[in-house]
Amino acid sequence: MAEIETSKVKIAQAPPGFEGPGFFATSLDKAIGLARKNSLWPLPFATSCCGIEFMATMASTYDFGRFGAERLSFSPRQADMLMVMGTIAKKMAPVLRHVYEQMAEPRWVLSVGACASSGGIFDTYSVLQGIDKIIPVDVYVPGCPPRPEQILEGVMNIQKLVHNESLRRRNDPEYKMLLASYGME
Ligand code: SF4
């Protein structure tokens, strides 16, 4: 068996807590945040070309599975990260909103690419000019299309939010206000 060069081995940073030999303590929300951020279940809502970049992100070169998020869900009830990738026609907007509403809390939204974020080059009567007109968005990924590296960076930014968020975001007054601004409870 080939020997592993120890200089190439990176040791992951332990989350903040009280450490000692054979002893580690942290708060429950930090432990849950750590578990949540490394076990996201994405729901890919891919409607056009950005979806192809997502397929590349899933494949072996970029290997989305490294982030603990390889288990895609095509059921909103078993997903916690909605990834919207592609042009969203106004006719499709109610469907996207319905999907979002069916997701259980806690849930996060990643808007991938110019079309999902702003309508992109389709400044036209039939295209929704950004999904944040109908649902709240946590992280935007720029580009037309964004490279898989950018999509991964977007997911990592979602992970940061997930890690640092309170256990019950739905009880947060700010979050409630945000949902209320979209006419949701
Ligand atoms: S942002 Fe560009 S690549 Fe992505 S769906 Fe729109 S036109 Fe296609």
Domain ranges of the chain: 40-181
What is the strand order of the sheet 108-112 is part of?
42-46, 81-85, 108-112, 139-141
Find out whether the beta carbon of 146 lies less than 6 Å from any atom of ligand 1.
no
> Which ligand 1 atom lies nearest to the CA of residue 47?
5
Residue 11 has what pLDDT? 78
Residue 12 has what pLDDT? 75
Q: Are strands 108-112 and 139-141 parallel, antiparallel or unpaired?
A: parallel
Residue 182 has what pLDDT? 92
Residue 28 has what pLDDT? 81
Among 84, 87, 121, which is best to mutate for testing ligand 1, by the most ligand atoms less than 8 A from CB?
A: 87
Backbone angles phi, psi at 109, to 5 degrees: -125, 130
**Which residue's CA is the closest to the ligand 1 atom numbered 8?**
49
Distance 52 CA to ligand 1 centre (A): 10
CA distance 47 to 116: 10
Q: What is the pTM of this model?
A: 0.86
Residue 20 has what pLDDT? 72
Question: Measured over all CA atoms, what is the biggest interatomic distance in the chain, rounded to whole angstroms?
Answer: 64
Strand stretches in 2-138, DSSP E: 18-20, 23-25, 42-46, 81-85, 108-112
Q: Does domain 40-181 have CATH number 3.40.50.12280?
A: yes
> Which ligand 1 atom lies nearest to the CA of residue 145?
3
Find out whether the beta carbon of 144 lies less than 6 Å from any atom of ligand 1.
yes
Mean pLDDT, consecutive 10-residue stretches, the chain (185 aa), reads 67 72 75 90 96 95 91 93 97 97 94 97 96 96 96 96 82 90 90
**Which residue's CA is the closest to the ligand 1 atom numbered 6?**
115
Residue 2 has what pLDDT? 55
- Exposure string of 4-42, with b = 16+ CB inside 10 Å and e = fewer, is eeeeeeeeeeeeeeeeeeeeeeeeeeeeebbebbeebbb
Residue 166 has what pLDDT? 75
Residue 15 has what pLDDT? 66
Find out whether the beta carbon of 112 lies less than 6 Å from any atom of ligand 1.
no
Cβ(117)–Cβ(130) below 8 Å: yes
Residue type, 59: A
Compute the radius of gyration of the chain from its Cα atoms: 18
